[in-house]
Structure formats: structure tokens, C-alpha cells
Amino acid sequence: MKKILRKKSFLQWVKRLESYKIYAPMKDDDFWNFALINNPKDLNLNHSNTVLSPKKIIFPQREVILEFSTSNDSELEVKEILPEEKASIIFGVRPCDARAIPLMDKVFGGDFTDPYYWKRRDKTILVGLSCNTPPSSNCFCLSVEGSPHSKEGLDILMTDLGDKYYVESLTKKGDQLINLAKNLFEEPNAKDNKDLENIHKDSEKKIKRQIQDIKNIPAKLKEMFESPFWDEESLSCLRCGICTYLCPTCHCFDINDEIISSSPLKGKRVRTWDNCQFPDFTMHSSGHNPRSDRASRLRQRILHKFQYFIEQYQNYQCTGCGRCISKCPVGIDIIEVLNKVENYGT
């Protein structure tokens, strides 16, 4: 379904969606971040890239998975805690962040479906916004099979045409949102379609950074497992973990028990994001650690994204948002690393 929505009608549309929880980028201090919108008036789509991707709404940084307690007669009780199920809409999702979600679906689906993830995922509608200008100077979506107007993972893609939005619904969930305010939408005319095409084409030209020849990378990485290259590239890494915490596709987590009282026992089991750049991530209790140095941990981050994930799911586990580059305190740049891989030893 392809529609036009006047910008002046946008607020009205959002008001009609009041039965949903609405998330959108909000500016707090200097940063943009996805937050729950209480007043539709707060919603504005002029955001640059958010610090964290909307991944955190479907897969929160911290969530309780169960509670345990012993009652007075010392019976142990374990209670499953599943997230509440209210339907949500996320507005202003960048196409790269949207593409990360089907990748997470693969991880949290499969042989063992993850009920915590899917409870939220099934109830979340993703409304994307094309990037007419790249929100970051390190955007490289085109190199990883994406684009600034990719529809993958989205229910609706909106494109800013100046005084109106081009609104393309891509799924039944998307159609529903438009149908809730049918009278606000118009049919696109030939000029709108032409404008859309031009804006999309132009937006691609504005992406400056690229990985040279990504097709060769997975095989090259496989050959380079033992290479001293990883020592050289990782020397400056502080193992702060920013690169993976900010990544829209990273899914690694930890599970720990938190005690509220020890007698009678009362507490919860909590899942939190974890990080392959931390030495502790893989360290056994014995002290043995298969990835004990920075080199093996950088290698893991790169190979997981550009070799293992491809082998497992036939996709790169990177959507080119550029956050890990912009925010790394020591300037480790995944594009540079991959371009060096491409040319290594030749």
C-alpha cells in the first residue's frame, strides 16, 4: 500500500494510534534515543542517529526472566516472568536498524524459540524513515546489502518529501496503522513517485564510506584466523565494549541471579546484555580462557559478523550503521579493518 501523508496531518495520525504504546527518537541533552512517547506532540522525525538502536525495545538491556522464593514452610517456588504484551509502534526507525531485527529474529528463533524476545517482537510494529541524508558520516549500509531506503524488517517505510511523507506499507501490520486513519492519507501522484525515486537515488550517493569488496571477505577471514594481523589491529583496544553494546545486531547476553533476601530466599534471575570484548565473557572458572587476549576478541567480533553468521544464516551480521566506528574511543574502524583484510598478504 502506497500513500501520501501531509506533514501537517502527521500528528493527527499519531493521535489515532492511541491504543498502541509509541516509541520514537527523543532528544535528551545532546543525544537522540528511542523513548516512550507520552504526548504525540513530542514526536518529531528530525533525528540524527540514535545512540542505541531500537533493538533495546524488543531485547532490553536488562530483563527479569523468572522469580524465585521460598515460602514459610520452605517450599521453593519458581515463577516465570514474561513481558507484558501491549502492542507497540516504533517510529523513526533507520533502515539499517530495521534490517538488524530480522537478523535477531534468526538468533532468537530456531530450535529453541526465546519467549521473552518473541512476546515483544510479535507485538511491535516498525515504522521506518528513509535517510535522505545519512545520519552519520560513518554510514556504510550499501556495503552490507542495505540501503538508506531499505524496506527489510519494516512494516512501513516513510520518506520525507518536503511538506509530505511518502508512506509505503509493507505488511498487514503496516496496513492496519494506515487504515486507522484512512481519511488522512492521499494517493501518491506521478510526481510523488518520481520525487521518491530521485530522493532515494540521491540518498545512496551521499553514503561516503564503503567496504571494498565484501563478497571475498568471509573466505579471506577464514584463511586469516591465525594471522598476526589481529594482534596489530587490536593493540589499542581498551576492551570497553562500546562497539558491541551499541551494535544493532549484537545479541550476546548474560544470565545472573539477584537476591533480594536470603532467608527466606527471594530473588530473581536476570538477563543482561553481555559483551564479547570482555575477557570474562569466555573465561572458565578454572581460569582457562579460549579468548584470553585482545586479538582473539577483536577477531571474534569481526568473524562473528562477517564469517560465522554468514555460514550459519547466510547474512552478514552487520547493517552498516557505523556506530561502532563513531563511538570507539580509540578509533578502531571496522571498515578499515575489513578493507585491510581484503588486501592482506597481496
Partner 1 sequence: MEHNAYIPRLAKIIQIKEEVSGARPIKTFRTQFLNKNDFAFHCGQCTMLSVFGKGESMISISSPPLIKDYLQFSILKMGRVTSALHEMEVGDKIGIRGPYGNGFPIEDWKGKNLIFIGGGIGLAPIWSVLQTALGKKQEYGELKLIYGARTSKDLVFKEELKELKKKMIVHLSIDVEEPEWEEFIGFVPQNVTDKKPSPKNAITITCGPPIMIKFVIQALKDLEFEDAQIYTTVENKMKCGIGKCGRCNIGMHYVCKDGPVYSWAELKKLPQEY
Ligand X SMILES: Cc1cc2nc3c(=O)[nH]c(=O)nc-3n(C[C@H](O)[C@H](O)[C@H](O)COP(=O)(O)OP(=O)(O)OC[C@H]3O[C@@H](n4cnc5c(N)ncnc54)[C@H](O)[C@@H]3O)c2cc1C
Residues 288 and 126: their CA atoms lie apart, in Å, by: 43
- The b-or-e profile of 192-215 (16+ CB within 10 A means b, else e) is beebbeebbeebeeebebbbeebe
* Residue of the chain from 74, 113, 285, 314 that contacts ligand X (CB under 6 A): 285
Angle (CA) 154 160 166, round 5°: 65
Residue at 81: amino acid letter: I
In terms of DSSP bridges, do strands 21-28 and 88-93 run parallel, antiparallel, or are they unpaired? parallel
Q: Does 328 bind ligand SF4 (CB under 6 A)?
A: yes
The interface mask with partner 1, positions 259-288, x = CB under 8 A, is x--x--x-x-x----x-x----xxxxxx-x
User: Shortest distance, CB of residue 3 to partner 1, whole angstroms?
Assistant: 38
With CB cut-offs between 5 and 8 Å by kind, which of partner 1, ligand SF4, ligand X, none does residue 242 bind? ligand SF4
Q: Does 332 bind ligand SF4 (CB under 6 A)?
A: yes
With CB cut-offs between 5 and 8 Å by kind, which of ligand SF4, ligand X, partner 1, none does residue 104 bind? none
Grid cell of 221 as nine digits = 577471514
127 - beta bridge partners?
Answer: 156
| CB nearer ligand SF4, residue 143 or residue 234 | 234
In terms of DSSP bridges, do strands 124-129 and 88-93 run parallel, antiparallel, or are they unpaired? parallel
Give the interface segment with partner 1, choosing from 22-30, 37-45, 86-94, 256-264 (CB under 8 A): 256-264
User: Shortest distance, CB of residue 27 to ligand SF4, whole angstroms?
Assistant: 24
| CB nearer ligand SF4, residue 159 or residue 277 | 277
Q: Does 68 bind partner 1 (CB under 8 A)?
A: yes
Q: Does 239 bind ligand SF4 (CB under 6 A)?
A: yes
Burial-class residue 89 by CB neighbours within 10 Å (0-12, 13-18, 19+). Answer: buried
- Spacing of C-alpha 299 from chain mean position: 21
User: Shortest distance, CB of residue 238 to ligand SF4, whole angstroms?
Assistant: 4
Q: Does 290 bind ligand X (CB under 6 A)?
A: no
CB 193 within 8 A of CB 35: no
DSSP state for residue 109 in the 8-state scheme: S
* Residue of the chain from 254, 329, 343, 344 that contacts partner 1 (CB under 8 A): 254
Residues 217 and 215: their CA atoms lie apart, in Å, by: 6
* Residue of the chain from 132, 180, 308, 342 that contacts partner 1 (CB under 8 A): 308
Residue at 31: amino acid letter: F
Q: How many residues bind partner 1 (CB under 8 A)?
A: 49
Residues 6+ apart with CB under 8 A from 13: 5, 181, 184
Angle (CA) 199 97 121, round 5°: 125
Give the interface segment with ligand SF4, choosing from 10-18, 53-61, 237-245, 253-261 (CB under 6 A): 237-245
User: Shortest distance, CB of residue 284 to ligand X, whole angstroms?
Assistant: 4
* Residue of the chain from 46, 115, 189, 343 that contacts partner 1 (CB under 8 A): 115
Residues 37 and 24: their CA atoms lie apart, in Å, by: 7
* Residue of the chain from 228, 284, 290, 314 that contacts ligand X (CB under 6 A): 284
Q: Does 314 bind partner 1 (CB under 8 A)?
A: no
| CB nearer ligand SF4, residue 200 or residue 239 | 239
With CB cut-offs between 5 and 8 Å by kind, which of ligand X, partner 1, ligand SF4, none does residue 328 bind? ligand SF4
Give the interface segment with ligand SF4, choosing from 65-73, 154-162, 262-270, 324-332 (CB under 6 A): 324-332
Residues 59 and 223: their CA atoms lie apart, in Å, by: 34
* Greatest CA separation for the chain: 74
| CB nearer ligand SF4, residue 154 or residue 250 | 250
How many Cβ atoms sit within 10 Å of the Cβ of residue 229?
18
Q: Does 111 bind partner 1 (CB under 8 A)?
A: yes
